A and B are shown apart, each in its own frame.
Chain A
């Protein structure tokens, strides 16, 4: 605290520790006014600006984060799609190949069956034609031979069984002749 001598020395002078009432009052009032101004206008304005900036920065960061996540998701999806498409394409190729092979096999089989059918049909037709030819020839030759013979013999051969026998024998001779002829032509050729 203040020593006695200091107070003594300050006696004639102003004591620096003694306040001037008017200064006290003006400072107190001035400070209260300043405090009011700060509270009412300055601090809210600064807080608002500060808050706005915080939001802008945080918003920007969040947005960037979101965009990044979105891009990553999109890329993953794209890659997934690409993989799927590749798998799909290869599956389809495989399927097409299998189908193609199956179609070829089927066609081959069908063609073979058709060929076989046609061959058989042809053979059957040939056989039938041959049979009918043989039959008609047999009938015609028989008639011709009978007529010829009856003319030669001068009498109608009424007995069917005899005439039949005659025809058969004639035919057998004919066959033998044909065979002989065929053997000769085969030898000549």
Chain B
């Protein structure tokens, strides 16, 4: 970090990639690092919490069961039923539930001291999840509508014939190429930006206090420390919001595949 005597050197994106814990496959890039451990941790945490909370299935829920049911009910009703409709939503609850809580917990890791790294601030995880959903809704579309699905997704109805060649290309790009990219990059960019803000504040304070010192150094450092508290909460809001948006878009894409012929 900022060890340069000349002045403050901002942290770089490379620093978001921590050194690997186990250097397996390191010759092909980064090995097995903190990020991967956190992903595994998130899977364990989510599975354990929800299975523990619902273990009794009591009619009058305990506090933990109530909280878990509220989370499940939120996904079931707001993301599932309201978007997919009464007829189709049941089948998709597990996927929406897994997507929402996987993203949520991995985001919130960025706000937990010690972990302090949102998994999705790296492109790889965001691409992976978006790819799984991309494959899911395309498969679903072809399963539901057959080969006609391609036509439904690329040929808009009620458009003059001479415009079609242009529109078909645009629609194809927008639905099949750009959609998964925006789906993943939206999440990744927000998480990365939040993480960089935290890093910047942290290294700035470190530089001012530890290296510059003096009254202005301590004063400014304290000021940044205080200022980072609202930023922390803003980040927290962003983490929840992005998890919601990501899961919401998942539901909307699935709904689009089920009812591709409706619009």
Contact = CB atoms under 8 A, between A and B. Distances in A.
Q: Do A and B come from one complex?
A: yes
Contact of A16 (B13, B54, B95, B119): B13
Given A14-B13, A33-B43, A26 B36 contact: yes
A124 to B, nearest CB: 101
A25 interface: yes
Nearest to B99: A31
Contact of A23 (B47, B55, B72, B122): B122
A24 B98 contact: no
A91 to B, nearest CB: 56
Contacts of A10: 13
B125 A23 contact: yes
Given A10-B13, A30-B42, A19 B127 contact: yes
B12 interface: yes
Contacts of A38: 47, 50, 94, 97-98
Given A23-B30, A46-B68, 14 more contacts: A13-B14, A14-B14, A21-B28, A22-B124, A24-B125, A25-B128, A26-B36, A31-B102, A31-B129, A38-B94, A38-B98, A43-B93, A45-B54, A46-B76
Interface of A: 10, 13-14, 16-28, 30-35, 37-39, 41-43, 45-50, 52-53, 56
16 contacts: A16-B123, A20-B29, A22-B36, A23-B125, A26-B32, A27-B125, A30-B39, A30-B42, A31-B102, A32-B132, A34-B42, A34-B98, A43-B72, A43-B97, A46-B50, A49-B54
